[in-house]
Structure 1
Amino acid sequence: MEKMYLTPAETVRTIVDNGKRVLTQSRLRTFVLSLLAGFYIGFGAQLATVVTQDAAAFAGKGVAALLGGSVFSLGLMLVVVCGAELFTGNSLLTSSALHGEITWGQLLENWGIVIVGNLAGSLFFAALMFESQLWMNGAVAETAIRTAAAKCQLPFGVALVRGILCNWLVCLAVFMATAARDVSGKMLACYAPIMAFVASGFEHSIANMYFIPTGLLLAGKLGREVPGLSWGAFFRDNLLPVTLGNILGGVLFVAFAYWYVHLKVDAPR
């Protein structure tokens, strides 16, 4: 009888083996898959905005955060089950580099292609939502603008730490989804950690590539001057520290930690 899940040691080995795809996968294929990941995270992010725009008034802030995190998890489910290249999840490629299966140069090249593709996909999805005119008036637009402004106003160190905590959970979600052997198990593995990071208020770089441009587009259309909300603040005050934090959280607390525990003894010398 086939096992329903892999052990942690088996999961690390599978992640290391999966990382070898960068040896044969073309740059164009990687870029297209990274575009798809930007779209998928955007689907979850926009749904979270719609669900939470009035939930707190009826159920309280805690329940609203729980609901937002629950629906946002759709994004990683789509990435994992349908297949896509997500920058934050690709922190786990570090395990392959540590084990000598890919070079550090190949790792950095993958990260570079994927983060550009994720950004392009997220911006395109934000433009699609803007052109849909679903949010031009009312509470949803106000929620989107308020969310974007709050993210741009975070101090650098705060955004960095929230980024660390976020991708710690995101990479654990990918780790557990890799361990699961069926679709339902993979979806559940994605749900719990992603719900936890969103409900906790942590910061995800790729989600913010959708949230903040959407707020900027809506504020511009509605003629709103929002303190601290600008394209410069998006890249400088949020995306930079959050991306660095995401890298640290995924690499140190998941990729390196589990490689060290389960595979370092076997690593090439």
Structure 2
Amino acid sequence: MSYVKPSDLVTAMIDAGASKVLMSTRDTVIRAYMGGAILALGAVFAVTVGVQTGQPLIGALLFPVGFCMLYLLGYDLLTGVFVLAPMAWLDKRPGITGVGVLRNWGLVFLGNFLGAFTVAVMMAIVFTYGFATEPNQIGEAIGHLGESRTLGYAEYGASGMLTLFIRGVLCNWMVSTGVAGAMIATDIPGKVIAMWMPVMLFFAMAFEHSVVNMFLFPSGLLLGGDFTLLDYLIWNEIPTVLGNLVGGLIFTGLALYLAHRRTAPTPVVARDAELETL
């Protein structure tokens, strides 16, 4: 069968979370580095297509290419381990501690950022012919994205910060659903379809993804975007990371865990057995 039942899915997610927490530092950072780099390339692809066609929706339709590639190759994103690692801790798997979960999150954050930043530097070189010219049309678009999604929130103060946080929550609700989708199917087409749908939704709705932003905003700064590193950290990355954590952990990880791991099935008494007791 190509479909995994939800109860078996939760077990698979717990197993995956345990393996990630217990993974060596080297392997964790390498997988996170490659995950961040490939997702960044997917973001470049989506922005490029959106600019070239004038239809951002087409970019959203194609963005999940990068997400599918990195998960099929076994690489990691911070948004994914926000869900998987705590599930292993909740299930009290041997060797899984709160410190171990935090260590995994920190290493994956570092690896994702390094991978995304590497692609940001490479694409800045491409967009400017090695910084010899002004950014091309796509480079300009990325710079303006950085401005609107930092200073645009700051303009509204606390209301802007709340909006940013909720966009982060909604983002990882969808992205982590894609992570679960990758495990709910056992064949490649099924995995791709299950990942594609929620990831396309988050990108089309302009929700905030911490790893995508690790590329977009440093890239915007390299390309002359009119915002600062402090703007990026305070008015995007930090609230986005917190929102991603809450969205993935509560609306995907905890929801699946409580629904299919902690909730016992209602016993069904056969009719014949009931008749025998009469």
TM-score, normalised by the number of residues in structure 1:
0.89
**1:265 Cα shift?**
4.9
Q: What does residue 68 of structure 1 align with?
A: 59
**Residues 70 and 134 of structure 1: is their aligned pair in 2 closer, same or farther, counting only changes over 3 Å?**
farther
**1:75 Cα shift?**
2.0
Q: Name the amino acid aligned to 1:171.
A: S
Q: Name the amino acid aligned to 1:147.
A: L
Classify the secondary structure of the residue corresponding to 1:264.
Answer: coil
**1:54 Cα shift?**
4.0
Q: What does residue 264 of structure 1 align with?
A: 262
Question: How many corresponding residue pairs?
Answer: 250
State, as a whole percentage, how many aligned pairs show the same letter. Answer: 29
Q: What does residue 158 of structure 1 align with?
A: 163
- Distance in 1 between the 2:141 and 2:210 partners? 19
**1:23 Cα shift?**
5.3
Q: What does residue 111 of structure 1 align with?
A: 105
- Distance in 2 between the 1:39 and 1:182 partners? 25
Q: How does 1:135-214 map to 2 (within 5 A)?
A: 136-153=134-151, 154=153, 155-214=160-219
Q: What does residue 34 of structure 1 align with?
A: 32
The unaligned stretches of length 5 or more in structure 1 are 57-63
1:83 aligns with 2:74: yes
Q: What does residue 14 of structure 2 align with?
A: 16
> Which of 119, 131, 135 is equivalent to 1:125?
119
> Which of 184, 199, 220 is equivalent to 1:215?
220
Task: Please tell me the root mean square deviation across aligned C-alpha atoms, in Å.
Answer: 1.6
**1:10 Cα shift?**
0.9
Q: Name the amino acid aligned to 1:193.
A: P
Cα offsets for 1:137-191 (capped at 9, x unmatched): 4421221111111111222111100000000000001111111101111111121
Q: Name the amino acid aligned to 1:45.
A: A
Q: What does residue 231 of structure 2 align with?
A: 233
TM-score, normalised by the number of residues in structure 2:
0.86
> Which of 96, 100, 123 is equivalent to 2:92?
100
- Distance in 2 between the 1:116 and 1:252 partners? 23
- Distance in 2 between the 1:235 and 1:124 partners? 18
- Distance in 2 between the 1:23 and 1:121 partners? 20
Report which of the two structures shows the higher radius of gyration computed on alpha carbons: 2
Cα offsets for 1:109-162 (capped at 9, x unmatched): 100110011111111110011122368444212211111111112221111000
- Distance in 2 between the 1:55 and 1:132 partners? 20
Once the two structures are overlaid, the 10-residue window that deviates more, 95-104 or 238-247, is: 95-104
Cα offsets for 1:210-246 (capped at 9, x unmatched): 0111111111xxxx6x2xx111111111001000000
